[in-house]
Chains A and B, each alone.
Chain A
Amino acid sequence: RKEVEQDPGPFNVPEGATVAFNCTYSNSASQSFFWYRQDCRKEPKLLMSVYSSGNEDGRFTAQLNRASQYISLLIRDSKLSDSATYLCAVNYEDTDKLIFGTGTRLQVFP
């Protein structure tokens, strides 16, 4: 079983739609959680950290469920510019290493 798993998609949604991605992790010692966005042939860029109480940044909402060991990302009112691959990443207690999921590809169409 992979340490961090995501549905690879692609998710094809119309502009304005709401879309949600889930990411599961296997190591219960995971301490910090992140969502990254990666455009084609580019490096990943941090979208948002995920806090225990959940957090929101504009149209983006991230949630953490420690009991079930998953994190989620909700994108409301999708824009064409949201088309990208979304990667979740976790790191473990006492380490600085980030372990990435396989990424979920989102394609927003007009």
Chain B
Amino acid sequence: GAVVSQHPSWVICKSGTSVKIECRSLDFQATTMFWYRQFPKQSLMLMATSNEGSKATYEQGVEKDKFLINHASLTLSTLTVTSAHPEDSSFYICSALDRRSYEQYFGPGTRLTVT
């Protein structure tokens, strides 16, 4: 299957700082990517849909000014958590939609810890 990478795989940062997470589709072009967040023992919660060349679409309750999404190329979307707080500590996972098969491929996730 297709491969999606995420970087970094884990990150620890201090409160008030910003963290950027990258999501890349390695062997296909993805005009649409998705960002999810998963807290321990909970399901994946869709945060936003990232659209290449246009603004991201955020789910209800997700602050767009706090979670900045940029999808500047057909293979890269970035999520920046701004002014991070300890409650932002979570597992962030991206997925990329392969329109050849309409299958979503997930990245390996980024574990964020805010101290």
Q: Mark A47-84, 1 if CB is under 8 A from B, else 0.
A: 00000000000000000000000000000000000000
Q: Which residues of B contact A101 (CB under 8 A)?
A: 43
The residue from A45, A87, A96 contacting B44, defined by CB atoms under 8 A apart: A87
Is the contact region of chain B dominated by helix, strand, or loop, or is it mixed? strand
For A6, give the chain B residue with the smallest CB separation: B43
The residue from B32, B34, B43, B109 contacting A43, defined by CB atoms under 8 A apart: B109
User: How many residues of A are in contact with the other chain, CB < 8 A?
Assistant: 15
Docked complex Cα distance between A98 and B42 (Å): 16
**Given the known A-B contacts A42-B109, A43-B93, are A98 and B43 also in contact in the complex, defined by CB atoms under 8 Å?**
no
Is the contact region of chain A dominated by helix, strand, or loop, or is it mixed? loop
**Distance (whole angstroms) from the CB of A18 to the closest CB of chain B:** 25
B49 within 8 A of A: yes
Q: Which residues of B contact A87 (CB under 8 A)?
A: 43-44
Q: Which residues of B contact A103 (CB under 8 A)?
A: 43
Docked complex Cα distance between A103 and B104 (Å): 18
The residue from B32, B97, B103, B107 contacting A46, defined by CB atoms under 8 A apart: B103
The residue from A42, A43, A44, A97 contacting B49, defined by CB atoms under 8 A apart: A97
Docked complex Cα distance between A100 and B45 (Å): 7
**Given the known A-B contacts A96-B97, A97-B34, are A42 and B42 also in contact in the complex, defined by CB atoms under 8 Å?**
no
16 residue pairs from A and B, CB less than 8 Å apart: A41-B91, A41-B111, A42-B109, A43-B93, A43-B108, A44-B44, A46-B104, A87-B43, A97-B34, A97-B46, A97-B49, A98-B34, A98-B104, A99-B46, A100-B46, A103-B43
